[in-house]
């Protein structure tokens, strides 16, 4: 799309919403300036492939749509990072649909008092029955949403109780410090149950088909139009009651796969906000200074190489350690990531803090790697290193650098690029010997990351097929202990075990960069990495 067409469309959209009377009263320039100040123009590589993030195969941007168009019982409070960027505060919950909540004296339930003035976008009041239906759905649809709920011990519809129209209770299966924090992530969003049930069928009791193409929320924004692969337009819900009314009235998000085109539009002022550029682009944008770039290390996130511990020869810990000593860490950091990541190598020999991620003790040492290969009796190994083609901008140079270094210790690794659409399905088969992957955990706690990636009971993200009763026991102890000293010791123990056993080789902690016009303010970093349009303002 040409810049002139984009600008023309933008003016048409902005002017179209004002009406002739408004233009005459304010004067065209004032009206246009005001319209632009209230409209945010976003250009993104890929828009939502569904309007329901609980649906099968929903992509990353659907999380943002759910966040802005639906409410949850709770959210997170804000904090300011050292560089002045606003971020969510992982340790402090804040009200959203629930104006208050109270954990029972025995610690085995929590009662939520709902706002009485909240309505869905069609004007229907939000009640506790909608909350119950929504929570029942989240624990019943299967796949990622149900796994996510279980990570906070939210597992059965019987746990969710309607006390009265504006009182909802969660009964605990066990004391789990993740439970309330999990209530505030993207998954348990509250759906207009009456509307959804009207569009459900016996075969589809949770209205997955209808909600994939229709939004039924009470959030600060509603879906004005959605053209998959082209454009999503959100308009402010002026009757939103769960927070201060956003200053941005309209969000126009265009899907533009070409990073070069998106960057040019930002630099010309034809777009307000974009992310998803290669680290090289962000590095240049920062140096050129035409737009502002905000970068936050993603909490509980890693780029890593997963090694298939369930299949020979990667079931041999010496081979896995050899690969950890052979990685070209510094070259990856400078040539593939342009420094836009936090190094996760060269740490001390002991785990001194109960924090994750933290640098592993490995550095590039080919002599150590060769000695371990010899001990393992695995010289002259042929294998494959797989990556998601959708991450090829950083993934491909990283894989090539790894391939070159592995060749120096006698491992011939063919690089296999798997289409992004098939990546998750392929990983779940657990057949790849080595996979270059990125994972981030929404709840910023070490035991949460380890629960997803290294617990033997988890198949969905444990792509190393790592099985260790010792690891499982440590993760569970950390998750449920109420003793601070025991917690700290246990977290250090499971991190040390991971460093010794090397089911994955961490490369770095990614930084989430967002570029925006200098007149745009209010950006807040969230664990789901999508923009929260409720906070933004322009000029």
Cα maximum dimension of the chain: 83
Residue 30 has pLDDT above 50, yes or no: no
Residue 319 has pLDDT above 50, yes or no: yes
Mean pLDDT on 425-443: 93
Reported as a single tens digit per residue, the pLDDT across 102-146 is 999 999 999 999 999 999 999 999 999 999 999 999 999 998 899
Residue 33 has pLDDT above 70, yes or no: no
Residue 1 in any domain: the answer is no
Which residues are paired to 79 by β-bridges?
87
Assign 228 a pLDDT band (cuts: 50, 70, 90). very high
Residue 356 has pLDDT above 70, yes or no: yes
Residues 165 and 308 in one domain: no
Classify the phi-psi angles of 380: left when phi > 0, otherwise alpha if psi is within -120 to 50, otherwise beta.
Answer: left
Residues 410 and 473 in one domain: yes
Sequence-separated (6 or more) residues with CB below 8 Å from residue 92: 76, 77, 79
Q: What is the pLDDT of residue 16?
A: 34
Domain count, the chain: 2
Which residues are paired to 231 by β-bridges?
227, 254
Residue 255 has pLDDT above 50, yes or no: yes
Domain CATH number, residue 458:
3.10.105.10
Q: What is the pLDDT of residue 37?
A: 87
Q: What is the pLDDT of residue 23?
A: 36
Residue 32 has pLDDT above 70, yes or no: no
Residues 240 and 318 in one domain: no
Residue 19 has pLDDT above 80, yes or no: no
Q: What is the pLDDT of residue 35?
A: 75
Q: What is the pLDDT of residue 181?
A: 96
Residues 488 and 534 in one domain: no
Q: What is the pLDDT of residue 10?
A: 34
Residue 227 has pLDDT above 80, yes or no: yes
Residue 381 in any domain: the answer is yes
Q: What is the pLDDT of residue 28?
A: 46
Residue 41 has pLDDT above 90, yes or no: yes
Residues 343 and 467 in one domain: yes
Residues 78 and 123 in one domain: yes
Q: What is the pLDDT of residue 392?
A: 85
Residue 284 in any domain: the answer is no
pTM of the model: 0.87
Residue 2 has pLDDT above 80, yes or no: no
Reported as a single tens digit per residue, the pLDDT across 257-309 is 999 999 999 999 999 999 989 999 999 999 999 999 999 999 999 999 999 99
Q: Rounded CA gap, 398 and 405, in Å?
A: 11
Residue 18 in any domain: the answer is no
Phi, psi of 475 (to 5 degrees): -60, -45
Q: Rounded CA gap, 11 and 9, in Å?
A: 5
Using the CB atoms, write b or e for 189-205: b if 16+ within 10 Å: bbbbbebbeeebeeeee
Which 3 state secondary structure label does DSSP give 105? Answer: coil
Q: What is the pLDDT of residue 109?
A: 98
Residues 444 and 377 in one domain: yes
- Return the higher-pLDDT residue of 8 and 430: 430
Residue 146 in any domain: the answer is yes
Reported as a single tens digit per residue, the pLDDT across 361-396 is 999 999 999 999 999 999 889 999 999 988 888 999
Q: What is the pLDDT of residue 155?
A: 97
Residue 12 in any domain: the answer is no
Residues 314 and 267 in one domain: no
Burial (Cβ within 10 Å: 0-12, 13-18, ≥19) of residue 53 = buried
Residues 111 and 226 in one domain: yes
Residues 183 and 317 in one domain: no
Q: What is the pLDDT of residue 259?
A: 92
Reported as a single tens digit per residue, the pLDDT across 460-497 is 799 999 999 999 999 999 999 999 999 999 999 999 99
Domain span at 94: 38-272+517-538
Q: What is the pLDDT of residue 420?
A: 82
Residues 332 and 421 in one domain: yes
Residue 65 has pLDDT above 50, yes or no: yes
Residue 522 in any domain: the answer is yes
Domain CATH number, residue 225:
3.40.190.10
Q: What is the pLDDT of residue 154?
A: 97
- Cβ atoms of residues 65 and 531 within 8 Å: no
- Cβ atoms of residues 265 and 516 within 8 Å: no
Residue 200 in any domain: the answer is yes
Residues 84 and 107 in one domain: yes
């Amino acid at each position: 799309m040409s810049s002139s067409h984009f600008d023309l469309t933008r003016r048409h959209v902005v002017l179209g919403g004002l009406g002739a009377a408004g233009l005459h009263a304010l004067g065209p320039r004032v009206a246009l300036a005001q319209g632009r100040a209230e409209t945010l123009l976003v250009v993104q590589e890929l828009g939502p492939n569904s309007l329901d993030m609980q649906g099968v195969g929903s992509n990353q941007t659907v999380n943002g749509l759910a966040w802005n168009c639906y409410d949850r019982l709770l959210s997170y409070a804000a904090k300011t990072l050292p560089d002045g960027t606003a971020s969510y505060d992982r340790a402090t919950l804040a009200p959203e649909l629930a104006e208050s909540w109270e954990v029972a004296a025995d610690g085995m339930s929590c009662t939520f008092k709902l706002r009485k003035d909240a309505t869905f976008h069609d004007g229907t009041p939000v009640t506790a029955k909608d909350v119950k239906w929504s929570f029942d759905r989240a624990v019943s649809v299967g796949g990622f949403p149900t796994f996510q709920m279980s990570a906070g011990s939210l597992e059965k519809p019987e746990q969710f109780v309607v006390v009265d129209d504006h009182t909802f209770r969660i009964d605990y299966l066990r004391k789990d410090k993740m439970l309330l924090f999990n209530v505030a992530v993207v998954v348990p969003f509250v759906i207009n149950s009456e509307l959804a049930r009207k569009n459900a069928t016996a075969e589809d009791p949770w209205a997955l088909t209808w909600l994939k193409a229709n939004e039924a929320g009470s959030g600060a924004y509603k879906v004005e139009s959605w053209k998959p692969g082209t454009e999503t337009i959100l308009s402010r819900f002026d009757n939103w009651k769960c927070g201060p009314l956003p200053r941005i009235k309209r969000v126009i998000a265009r899907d533009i796969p070409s990073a070069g085109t998106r960057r040019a539009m930002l630099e010309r002022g034809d777009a307000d906000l974009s992310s998803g550029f290669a680290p090289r682009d962000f590095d240049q944008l920062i140096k050129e200074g035409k737009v502002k770039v905000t970068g936050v290390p993603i909490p509980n996130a890693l780029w890593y190489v997963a090694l298939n511990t369930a299949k020979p020869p990667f079931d041999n810990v010496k081979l896995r350690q050899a690969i950890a000593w052979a990685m070209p860490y510094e070259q990856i950091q400078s040539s593939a990531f342009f420094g836009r990541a936090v190094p996760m190598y060269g740490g001390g020999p002991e785990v001194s803090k109960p924090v994750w991620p933290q640098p592993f003790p490995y550095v590039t040492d080919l002599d150590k790697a060769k000695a371990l290969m010899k001990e393992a009796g695995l010289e002259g190994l042929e294998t494959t290193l797989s990556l998601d083609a959708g991450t090829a901008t950083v993934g491909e140079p990283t894989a090539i650098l790894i391939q070159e270094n592995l060749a120096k210790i006698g491992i011939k690794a063919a690089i296999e690029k798997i289409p992004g659409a098939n990546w998750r399905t392929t990983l779940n088969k657990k057949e790849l010997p080595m996979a270059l992957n990125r994972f981030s955990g929404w709840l910023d706690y070490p035991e949460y990351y380890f629960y997803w990636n290294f617990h033997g009971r988890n198949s969905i993200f444990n792509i190393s097929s790592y099985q260790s009763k010792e690891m499982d026991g440590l993760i569970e102890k950390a998750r449920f202990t109420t003793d601070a000293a025991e917690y700290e010791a246990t977290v250090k123990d499971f991190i040390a075990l991971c460093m010794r056993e090397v089911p994955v080789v961490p490369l770095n902690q990614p930084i989430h960069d967002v570029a925006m016009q200098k007149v745009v303010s209010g950006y807040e970093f969230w664990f789901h990495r999508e923009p929260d349009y409720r906070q933004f303002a322009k000029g």
